[in-house]
Structure 1
């Protein structure tokens, strides 16, 4: 495929200038507290068996752990946690790296990547549409729920394999023109992963590992249970019933990442300082800058801003980038603020179904600093 030079065709760009670097924080902390005190309060506010809040501020890391469950044999901050939909930030960074390196264009039709003999057609769904949730695809394929019922309380995604995700996309009749509406879609980002693998002739694990995980030194991050690190055990909404390790079927690019808190901080610190020592590849540094640029606005008064990989909300002093995620028994929150050189990775081993104190606590902590 011949790369096109327009970076995000079909997605209205909201920003094209240079991004400012992360700045040292000179602002006092809320209520005159210290970072350890704020993190301890955040851990105590989350009613989950295992809770970890890890914060990097001006390059200095502080980690606090706790929880209502019996402490595991491995320190909580050394376990590997399922981060669910926060995995999409890794997929967005991968797409940006492939685009910045000239390997492919975000304007490529996804169907052509999956089936080169297929005509693109009029107004095709592009890779850019998929990563920005403007493809017109629903949250999940129409036949997903029926297939997921037998394992709904254990592993609902396991029964929907790679080939079925691809076939469902290629067979689907389009309801609306791509780029005309924002609608969050696990399905769309799953299709994106398969399209990137097909376009590069590289299995997903090898593609993400070779282009993102290894260049950033994320040795405690994988896409499957087991391996060099111990996996955290998730729990259902009651906080006591354990859940099995997540198996995502054909939705790897939408939610398969599991990582240790130190790795998650390394990932976020690379976004704070794209030109810092972490990226081993210059195109990855360019990609880290690219995923911070807003590409669309939505909502009342277009107040909700999205980049290629992150939600962006304003604070009193600068933008905050964040993404949360959940599996059947675990939750994660990733966020960073370049204006104060601060990043936060928070994880817990409980799935909150109604009053989500975890995300509210993590969001409020980072936004209020």
Structure 2
């Protein structure tokens, strides 16, 4: 799919959109919509949490019996929505002058080595324009014996970087868009190599601690605090997700409250220690598709609404799904989580997207 890259790091055009005011929604109506959204998702555990103009609203439900730890206090796997954390980390490192985004990934991972992947930069990796497939070519064969239990955990960091260094890009970097877990995983390893610091430590120092995100983890740590995922049937429990060498692409697990805090920082960057980076990740850097109608930022998918752009990213693991999104025009952030892996076209993502896209305002 052809892509049009805008000047890195792009030009913020939030202000170019009209702020058409929609019908005013009172708090009771918002709570009713939250209840309807939760009821629409058939999963053992469901959480929809909204921040609107600084006030938080939360609704939980699901078919599973109540557990000792309330659903709103559990830590959930957010899968590919982790890429919004990785995008913000890269933007912050650029803001601090530690990186530019133009570094070649091969130079970070293997200085002096020249390969067919040599032209690929960090900017290509974060924008899914590096010419990489969704997953490495040998991923499926290696993961097949543990496909239903631990496919990513069987593919460690050294295999991710080795596959990248051997890879022959399908297209000239920067010319085609293809969503790639492989590319963002490589980005994490390249950034860590450039900074000579593990990716998890970089994320903690530059994103999690500055934003006060104390409930975020990158692996299962406490069975009582971690939500339990379920397969497509909604009944079979799955093992905790192991991201293997794909940490930067999908390892984050967090509480609904921490995820709301993360999104609230995006809604109102002013005063945040990450203000510059938070503004940068709202900046369009890529247009693709027919007429270049699909817009992406460093970290988010970006769709138009009547009042202005909405930013969102979904994610899934073997047994859980997540949807994160925010709208500056309405001052609204949404965290939607559930402990069931639905099929590709499912009610969960459609329900969450529809909730955020609704133009009713406070």
Structure 1 residue 11 corresponds to structure 2 residue 5:
yes
Structure 1 residue 367 corresponds to structure 2 residue 357:
yes
Structure 1 residue 294 corresponds to structure 2 residue 284:
yes
Structure 1 residue 259 corresponds to structure 2 residue 249:
no
CA contact (8 A) 1:82 1:331 kept: yes
Indicate the residue corresponding to 1:341 in structure 2: 331
Aligned pair count? 355
CA contact (8 A) 1:93 1:287 kept: yes
CA contact (8 A) 2:322 2:338 kept: yes
- RMSD over aligned Cα atoms: 2.4
Indicate the residue corresponding to 1:5 in structure 2: none
Alignment of 1:198-347 (within 5 A): 198-227=193-222, 230-276=225-271, 279=272, 281=273, 284-347=274-337
Partners of 1:343 and 1:31 in 2: CA distance: 16
Shift of the 94–228 alpha-carbon distance from structure 1 to 2, 3 Å rule, reads: farther
Structure 1 residue 356 corresponds to structure 2 residue 354:
no
Residue 52 of structure 1 aligns to a residue whose secondary structure is: strand
Alignment of 1:78-93 (within 5 A): 78-93=73-88
Partners of 1:60 and 1:308 in 2: CA distance: 27
Shift of the 229–307 alpha-carbon distance from structure 1 to 2, 3 Å rule, reads: farther
The answer to which of 228-237 and 320-329 deviates more is 228-237
Structure 1 residue 45 corresponds to structure 2 residue 35:
no
Partners of 1:307 and 1:83 in 2: CA distance: 19
CA deviation vs aligned residue, 1:8-32 (integer Å, no higher than 9, x gap) = xx932395246559x9996435799
CA contact (8 A) 1:13 1:294 kept: no
Within the candidate set 176, 180, 184, 2:175 is matched to 180
Partners of 1:122 and 1:167 in 2: CA distance: 11
Gaps of 5+ in 1: 1-9
TM-score normalized by structure 1?
0.91
CA contact (8 A) 2:117 2:168 kept: no
Gaps of 5+ in 2: none
Within the candidate set 64, 75, 87, 1:69 is matched to 64
CA deviation vs aligned residue, 1:194-245 (integer Å, no higher than 9, x gap) = 0000000001111111110111000000101015970000000000000000
CA contact (8 A) 2:47 2:60 kept: yes
Residue 270 of structure 2 aligns to a residue whose secondary structure is: coil
Partners of 1:135 and 1:266 in 2: CA distance: 31
Residue 266 of structure 1 aligns to a residue whose secondary structure is: helix
